[in-house]
Amino acid sequence: MGERISAAVLVPVFRDGEGELRLVLVVRAAGGAHGGQIGLPGGKREPGDRTLLETALREAEEEVGLARDRVEIVAELDELDSRATGFRVKPYLGRIVPPGRWRLAGAEITELLTPTIDSLADVASRREEPIAVPSWPLPRLIAGITLGDGYFLWGLTLRVLEPLLPRLLAGEWTF
């Protein structure tokens, strides 16, 4: 693959009213390279973004209405290359104060999910499912995590979360 496209995502984590640790995920609208997929708020770096952190914060605000002053970055995570779309993605772990009301960018985001970290780490939620992507000639059997309402988390988002989930459960950062 040629030169990678710089992108960044925010991994927004918070404690709910019952003290459960939760993660914010988005369901991407149909169309585009990631249409219909579960992901983290984020996207490609724009010319006005001085840093990839700015990219992640700008995208989170645009996609789900999470204002920058409600995010405290607690860790920079390792960059990952997407396997199919040519992106090099820098993830940032953020402790957030959820807004009173999420504001979804309807053209890009159709739904917001806030699964618990415990449910994401539960081995019973792991499955392999056939996934069809327009750039693949045939569907492939892909490992991932089943979420409620028939959603399946896989790909780069899963690769960001897999090493992070045990660290969150171990209390490496306070939330």
In a domain, 141, yes or no: no
- pLDDT tier, 122 (very low <50, low <70, confident <90, very high otherwise): very high
pLDDT of 34 > 90? The answer is no
Judged by DSSP in three states, 119 sits in helix
Q: Does a structural domain hold residue 146?
A: no
Tell me, yes or no, whether 134 lies in a domain: no
Residue 122 counted as domain residue: no
| Domain contains 136 | no
Instruction: State pLDDT tens for residues 126-144.
Output: 999 888 877 778 888 999 9
How many percent of the chain have pLDDT more than 70?
96
Q: What is the pTM of this model?
A: 0.93
Answer whether 106's CB lies under 8 Å from 124's CB. Answer: no
Q: Is residue 88 part of a domain?
A: yes
Tell me how far apart the alpha carbons of residues 92 and 144 are, in angstroms, rounded to a whole number. 21
CATH of the domain at 12: 3.90.79.10
Q: How many domains does the chain have?
A: 1
Q: Per residue in 40-88, pLDDT tens?
A: 999 999 999 999 999 999 999 999 999 999 999 999 999 999 877 789 9
pLDDT at 1 over 90: no
Q: Is residue 121's pLDDT more than 90?
A: yes
Residue 87 placed within a domain: yes
Three-state helix/strand/coil letters over 35-59: CCCEECCEEECCCCCCCHHHHHHHH
**pLDDT at site 136:** 77
The per-residue pLDDT for range 3-12, each reduced to its tens digit, is 899 999 999 9
What does the buried/exposed string (b/e) look like for 44-55 if buried means 16 or more CB atoms within 10 Å of the residue's CB? Answer: ebeeebeebbeb
pLDDT for residue 111: 94
Q: Provide the domain limits for residue 71.
A: 5-117+155-169
Q: Give the residue from 132, 147, 141, 140 showing the smallest Cα distance to 35.
A: 132
Would 133 be classed as within a structural domain? no
